[in-house]
Amino acid sequence: MDYIYCANYEKTSQAAARMVAREVLKNPKAVLGLPTGSTPIGMYRYLVHLFEDGLVSFADVKSFNLDEYVGLNANHPQSYAYFMYDNFFSKIDVLPGAYDLPRGIASDINVECKRYDEKMQKMGGIDLQILGIGLNGHIGFNEPSHDMQVRTHCVDLTHDTIQANARFFNSIDEVPRHAVTMGIGNIMKSRKIILLVSGENKRDILQKTMYGAVSPEVPASILQFHSDVTVITDIKL
């Protein structure tokens, strides 16, 4: 794993945005894998700046998001579809229809998972996947477990994740209990991965991810087996 240390959150966000923009300039038809959460907000902001300054275009880019809550439609302010539109898609030149997220309100979630996997495959897989990491080591919503799911699937969110995400909702009771997420196999098949980690509270999990035993108990640790991962972080290890 390559490791890029940046002095603070803003510099981490800039470094990630520059790396994404470089990939898109190299391959304007890149297929991106995109995260949500508080960590990538700065990166999206800088990517919008780069777009507004005419330095990068997303007109030919396609994207797939990592995950979505089950039961929230795209208009719900806490859905990841809404987050992506609000923070990124509405501010750049990506074409409607060029970006996709799992549909959390699909009537048959298993059919939806299959649709998502087939579409990713049809598009040739993900060129650049950007990841955040949960305090418990989850990537996407692949929670610590005794095994790893390969493909897009529905998960029961852990108590830790529900608690961590309650800050975005009026109360913990409103946090959905299930989500659809790309599997570990989808993520590992990406040609290139950026893992974006910010904040001292993630020091322990970053250490375990990079240098600990590879285990489904720390889902992000599987990234040690990927040949092109760059960790961009403001945590000095």
According to CB under 6 A, which one of 8, 38, 73, 90 is a site residue for ligand PGA?
A: 38
Do the Cβ atoms of 46 and 13 come closer than 8 Å? Answer: yes
| Nearest approach, Cβ of residue 171 and ligand PGA (Å) | 18
**Spatial separation of the C-alpha atoms in residues 29 and 62, rounded to whole Å:** 7
Give CA 124 to chain center in angstroms: 18
Based on the shown chain and the rule CB under 6 A, indicate whether residue 183 belongs to the binding site for ligand PGA. Answer: no
Based on the shown chain and the rule CB under 6 A, indicate whether residue 197 belongs to the binding site for ligand PGA. Answer: no
Q: Look up residue 81 and give its amino acid.
A: A
Known catalytic membership, residue 138: yes
Site for ligand PGA in 1-20 (CB under 6 A): none
β-pair partners for 139: 142
The one segment of 8-16, 19-27, 34-42, 90-98 that binds ligand PGA by CB under 6 A: 34-42
Strands (E), the chain: 2-5, 31-34, 62-65, 67-69, 99-100, 128-131, 153-156, 178-181, 192-197, 229-233
The one segment of 32-40, 71-79, 206-214, 226-234 that binds ligand PGA by CB under 6 A: 32-40
The one segment of 37-45, 80-88, 150-158, 207-215 that binds ligand PGA by CB under 6 A: 37-45
Per-residue contact string for residues 120-139; x = within reach of ligand PGA by CB under 6 A: ------------xxx-----
Upper half-sphere CA count for residue 43 (Cβ side, 13 Å): 27
**Spatial separation of the C-alpha atoms in residues 16 and 194, rounded to whole Å:** 8
| Nearest approach, Cβ of residue 38 and ligand PGA (Å) | 4
Q: Look up residue 47 and give its amino acid.
A: L
Considering beta carbons, is residue 134 or 176 the nearer one to ligand PGA? 134
Considering beta carbons, is residue 104 or 134 the nearer one to ligand PGA? 134
Known catalytic membership, residue 146: no
Query: Containing H/E element for 110?
Result: helix 109-122
Comparing every residue's Cβ against ligand PGA, the nearest one is 37
**Spatial separation of the C-alpha atoms in residues 195 and 210, rounded to whole Å:** 11
Known catalytic membership, residue 217: no
Q: Which two tokens stand for residue 120?
A: 């990713």
Based on the shown chain and the rule CB under 6 A, indicate whether residue 39 belongs to the binding site for ligand PGA. Answer: yes
Site residues, ligand PGA (CB under 6 A): 37-39, 132-134
Report, as residue numbers or ranges, the catalytic residues. 67, 136, 138, 143
